[in-house]
Structure 1
Amino acid sequence: MRIINSRGYELEKAQPNTSEDFFNRSEVTFEDDGEEKTLHVLYIRYYDETFAEFIPTMRGETDPIFKIGEKQITFKDLVAITCLIKNPSFRHRKRIYINTQEELAGYFEGVNIPKTREIFEGIYNKGGYQLTSSLHFLLQPSS
């Protein structure tokens, strides 16, 4: 699977009586068996403000998580790619909705966030990143 892009953004109200402005969307675009696909992950915006509290591997982290040249990689940029790393079967889905902090924390549990920098470096410096195994991005248990 080749990762082409991963980005996150805040939704804006389409109508005055809607609640889109309470949500963020994170997207990862990838090629799988020659077909381009995008996984859209919708979650409550408040989690961006509190992620360091409920994701053990990110304690003390703040946005941006890291920079690639001038590009700032924020928490919302990481959500969809982390979900795909943690659950590779999501490559067959178009959308997922995360409605609890516990569920979101579960996707980040055991993922080596600093190593995900390699994916973003590939995207921004080489136009993509070949993901051969999600296992490369999981924390190894200490013996």
Structure 2
Amino acid sequence: MFITDCIGYELEKEKSNTSEDFFNRSEVTFIDQSEEKTLHVLYVRYFDEFFQEFTPYQQNPILTKGDIQVTFKDIVALVCLIKNPGLRNRKRLYINSKQEFASYFQDIEFDKIPEIVFSVKQNNKFALHSPLDYIKQTR
């Protein structure tokens, strides 16, 4: 599988009676068996206030290299895809539980995430051979 993009953003109200401004969307675009797919992860924006509890990151942007800045919401869909490769067959994932949200980040090899993200941001691709390479293995 080739990761070709990962991005996140805050939703804004389109109509005054909607609640979009309470949510963030994170997207990861990838090529799986010659087919381009995008996983859209919609989650409660409030969870961004707690990412320090389940990641080693302390502030946004979480990663910086030259003029490239990566925010927490940029990696959410990527992490979900790594943690659950079965999501590559889905288009959308909605997370409204803090416990479920945090579970996707459990056992992730965070020191390897910059390799993926910066390769995608600079080269528009990263070959993800095995998601297991990015999850801590118990011995």
Bin for the TM-score computed over the shorter chain? over 0.9
Is 1:4 aligned to 2:1, yes or no? no
TM-score, with length taken from structure 2? 0.95
Unmatched runs of 5 consecutive residues or more in structure 1: none
Aligned to 2:109: 112
Deviation at 1:49, TM superposition (A): 1.4
Is 1:83 aligned to 2:80, yes or no? yes
Question: Superposition RMSD on alpha carbons, in Å?
Answer: 1.2
Question: Aligned equivalents of 2:5 and 2:66: distance in 1?
Answer: 16
Aligned to 1:34: 34
Aligned to 1:139: 136
Question: Aligned equivalents of 2:74 and 2:118: distance in 1?
Answer: 13
Deviates more, 1:120-129 or 1:23-32: 120-129
Q: Which amino acid in the other structure matches residue 131 of structure 1?
A: L
Deviation at 1:120, TM superposition (A): 1.1
Number of equivalenced pairs: 139
SS at match of 1:122: helix
SS at match of 1:43: strand
TM-score, with length taken from structure 1? 0.92
Question: Aligned equivalents of 1:72 and 1:129: distance in 2?
Answer: 18
Deviation at 1:140, TM superposition (A): 3.6
Question: Aligned equivalents of 1:10 and 1:34: distance in 2?
Answer: 30
Deviation at 1:79, TM superposition (A): 0.5
Question: Aligned equivalents of 2:25 and 2:110: distance in 1?
Answer: 19
Deviates more, 1:120-129 or 1:37-46: 120-129
Percent of aligned pairs with the same amino acid? 53
Aligned to 1:13: 13
Deviation sequence 1:76-107 (CA, Å, 0-9, x none): 01100000000001000000000111001100
Deviation sequence 1:5-47 (CA, Å, 0-9, x none): 0000000001011000000000000001111100000000011
Aligned to 1:129: 126
Deviation at 1:135, TM superposition (A): 1.1
Question: Aligned equivalents of 2:65 and 2:112: distance in 1?
Answer: 13
